[in-house]
Structures are given as C-alpha cells and as structure tokens.
A and B are shown apart, each in its own frame.
Chain A
Amino acid sequence: MIGSLIALAALALVACGPYILDAYGIGLLIGAVSYTILASAWAMFSGPTRYISLATVAFYGTGAYTVAVLSDALPWPLVLASAAVIGGVLALVVGLSTLRLAGIYFVIFSFGLAELIRQLITWFEVSVSGTLGRYIFLDLEPRHVLWQLLSLAAVVVLITGWIHRSRIGLALKVIGDDETVAAHAGINLARTKLILFVLSSVLITLVGAIQSPRWVYVEPGIVFNPQVSFLTVIMALLGGATHRWGPVLGAVPLFLLFEWLSARFPDHFSIILGLLFIGVVFLLPDGVLAAMQKLRKKKEAAA
C-alpha cells in the first residue's frame, strides 16, 4: 500500500519534468518510463512463471504498427483501445498455443514470434498495400507522450499491487515454485498463466502504441527491433523479476547507461550489451534486490 503511494507520487513528480527540462531531457524521461513499464509488465508474467519471454518487441511493435495504420482513421483514444484489443487477442492466441511449452522451447518460440510478425507485416505491406514504410502524423508533443506513459505506469502500479494481494498472485507464486503442487492444490495452471500473459502483453502493446508518434516514420525493421526484447529482459533480471520494485530499479539505471554507451561507443554497443547480459545472469541471477537481501541476512547471521 505505502509502496504504491510512493510510486504514484514519484510518477506525479516525473510528470512535472516537461516544465523544467529541454527536449533531450524529456526524451530521456520517455525512454526511462517506457522501459520501466516494459520491464514491469514483462516481470508480471515472466517473474513468477519463469517463462523467459523474448516476445516483448512482438507486442511493442504491434502496438506501434496499429497506430501507424489506424491513426488517420480513428480518434486517438480509439486507436489506443484498438491497439490494446489487438495485442490482447494476439497474446490470447499465442498463449493458448505456447504456454504448454516448457522452458527453452518457450524462449525460442517467443523470439520467433517477433520475427514472424515482422515478416508477415513486411509481406503484407509489400505485396498488398504496396508500401513498406508508413508515416505517423499526430498532433502529440513529446510531453503528451510522456504524460500518457506516466498514466500507463500508474495503471501498472495499481495492477501489480492488486496482483500481490489477490488470489492470482498467490497462484503465481505457487506455480513459480512447483507446478505439480500448484495443480494438485486446485490451481488451473493454463488459465492463470494465460491471464497474466495477456495482461502483460496488453501493457507492452500500449507502450509501443503510446510512444509511436515519436518515430514519425515507421517500418517493420524499426519497430520490431529485437534489441527491445533483450533490453527488457536484462533490465527486469538485473532489478529482480520476482520482486515488485525490481524491474524499476533495473530499468532506470540501465536505460541511462545504454543511452550513454550508445552515444559514446556506437560501434561497440552490442558487445557491451552482451557482456552485461552475461554478467547479470552469472553474478546476480535473482537480481540486485535479492542479492541485497541475502547480504543483509548474512550480516544479521554474523552479528
């Protein structure tokens, strides 16, 4: 409860950013908030179930592309609603067909999904609509994008708070520990996972949709960049995917670090990213928060 209130207050504070910061500063805030939501939404499903999903960009890109296609035809709130529905239906179909896959197979499938959707859209644009790129002309300034993202972040805070206190939160914890026990205690595994996967995917789709006006020009290669999926995973894992505030603690510093690295070392960025990925998995498999708790426990035991 207190955690949620502090988080909402922090979001309100960030919302004042556009009145003091320049365009670059606002851009940084947009990126940091986007990745915070992506990592939190990712961890909502993947943290407790331990299904490592690389499908983040599949939904993120779908959100962006929905805007590119519909933004001329519909008013903005309806465009966002359409994106949420499309992302939700896509997640439902994908979830129904893949959540029975275990471990590594799910990882590979989720990675393939992003590529599949990218290729499908490319094929459609080239052979049916005849253009590969699309323009997004919307009367939305960066600060509007930021405020919408912050509203979405507030929704995420409320949803995660609700999950932690509700039956589905306990069900997820049990599934994360032992699926056999979960099923024998009366938990419907497939339904629980599906609900969370759809919820998390809708949020990810909305991030893609809300921040798409920043691109102006989109094509599949831009919006379905697999780096988005990898960054999301590494941020959530660094902070701690099973801890409620873990993804935030991973996303903000890593986003700022990546911004700085990609400006300083544009050619070697991928190498550094890969090394960081390996480092996180080896040194902090449960995330920074869990490592800190362990350290504190050790100190207490020693004292």
Chain B
Amino acid sequence: MMLEIREAAKHFGGVRAVDGLSFSMNEGEVVGLLGPNGSGKTTLMNLVSGALKPTSGEILFDGVAIGGKRPDVIAKAGVARTFQLVRVLPSLSILENVMVPAAFGREALWGREAEARAEESLERVGLKVSPGKLAGDLTYIDQKRLELARALAARPRLLLLDEWLAGLNPTELQEGIALIRQLEAEGLTILLVEHIMDAVRALCPRCVVMASGSKIADGPTGEVLDQSEVISAYLGGGDA
C-alpha cells in the first residue's frame, strides 16, 4: 500500500473540515479526489503533505506513519505536491526553483548533478524558456509547468496535484492531460484534486468523492460519477 488514510480528521474550532475519512492507494494508482468547494479536499492534501497536522487518525505512506510529521520530513520520505494557488519562488531563477527539491530531497543532489536533474525535469514538463530567467516573470501556464517540474525533481513516489489543470485553455489542458498520463505510464502514484470532469475521466480510473469532510463514494470513475449521492452533492440537495 503506497498511501493509507485511516479515520483522518481535521477540525478547525467547530468546523470539521475532514471528518474521519479513510481510503488507501496502491503503488502506481492514479486516484481523483472530487467533491464540491469546501468539502475538505485541499485540507486532506495538506494533511498528507504535512502542511497541516491531523486532529486525529493515521496517515501511512508506504507503511510508515507520516500523519502530523513536518512537511520537510514527509517530502524527504518521497511525497511531492503542487499548490492550488501556484507558488513559484519569484526571486529564484527557473533552474534554481526546480533544483531546490533535488538538493533538499531524499537524494540530496548538489552542484552539477542537481542542475542536471532540474534540466531533466524542465524538459519533462515541456518548459522551454531560458532557465536563467526569474520564475516570477513567467506566464501562468509556465508557472504551473514550473511547479510540476519542481515537484518531479525530487523523484517522488507519491505526487499530490491540487487542481493543477485549473485555469488552462483547451489546448493547454490537452497538453496537461497528456503530461500526467505520461507520469502515470512511468508508474508514479498520483492523487489529484480536480474539478474538470473531462480530465478526471481521462486520467483517473478510480475516484474518491468527499462532501462536508466525509467520503461519500469510492470506486471506478464511471460508476462513482453516476451515483445519486455524488450527483446531489454536486448539484445541491437530493430532491432537486
């Protein structure tokens, strides 16, 4: 089991953002995490990546408990992520941006080796700009590409994508889907939060659906999306 979430909960005061949720992912699996806005998807991603500590419950990565550990410890264990709102490092060059996880990750590469890894990651995501340019000067789609390249540079075993496809135009979206497909083919385990249903159908054989912090469906994408609970969670109210 690559990722196992057991009864994970995160409460903010009285708000139960994630409320006792469990599911697991096998190595090489690509799972879509769906649910309406505010259902707790990003909070769950944050629990896995270490940005937030769970109020209760266990999160196991490759059999090791990572719930409540610091993000740098979890990153070193082999988990990488992108952020819902793109976070590039504006005062670093593009190459430096991507070098960072290579330098501070599991393999602790440095110098020429780290640069080579960064160049390789940039090529993988198809970011073709001068790598000496500052990351803050990139266009939105290229910032997204940069963020993915950065996540890949540590050679993670689990990749968390938080709405990585959001905000892309139709051509870019197709490129994005092809890119994630390629990662899937290489055997990377991916958990992705996504609102674009075409992308979810194209990429994820399996989906987990959340509503107000709980899991309401889990299974093959086609079946899950037809379930009445899922439809009512998205459209609001079962009687609609």
Residues of A near any B CB (own CB < 8 A): 167, 170-171, 173-174, 176-178, 180-189
Contacts and interface: CB of A to CB of B under 8 A. Distances in A.
A174 B87 contact: no
A189 B92 contact: no
Interface string B56-98: 0000000000000011100110001101000101111000100
26 contacts: A170-B96, A170-B100, A173-B89, A173-B91, A174-B92, A176-B91, A177-B91, A180-B51, A180-B87, A181-B83, A181-B89, A181-B100, A183-B50, A183-B71, A183-B72, A183-B75, A184-B51, A184-B75, A184-B80, A185-B101, A185-B154, A186-B101, A186-B105, A187-B104, A188-B70, A189-B72
B89 A187 contact: no
A167 B92 contact: no
Contacts of A184: 49-51, 71-72, 75, 80-81
Interface of B: 49-51, 70-72, 75-76, 80-81, 83, 87, 89-92, 96, 99-101, 103-106, 110, 150, 154
Contacts of A186: 72, 75-76, 101, 104-106, 154
* Majority-rule SS of A interface residues: helix
A146 B105 CA distance: 44
A187 B92 contact: no
Given A170-B100, A183-B51, A183-B75, 12 more contacts: A170-B96, A170-B103, A173-B91, A178-B87, A181-B87, A181-B89, A182-B100, A184-B51, A184-B72, A184-B81, A185-B150, A187-B72
A170 B99 contact: yes
Given A184-B49, A184-B81, A186-B154, A177 B103 contact: no
Given A173-B92, A180-B87, A183-B70, A167 B103 contact: yes
Select the residue from B75, B99, B105, B154 with max chain A CB neighbours within 10 A. Answer: B75
Contacts of B110: 167
A208 B91 CA distance: 34
A185 B105 contact: yes
A4 B156 CA distance: 38
Contacts of B51: 180, 183-184
B131 to A, nearest CB: 15
A134 B127 CA distance: 65
Contacts of A189: 72
Contacts of A180: 51, 71, 83, 87
Contacts of A185: 72, 75, 100-101, 104-105, 150, 154
Select the residue from B76, B81, B89, B154 with max chain A CB neighbours within 10 A. Answer: B89
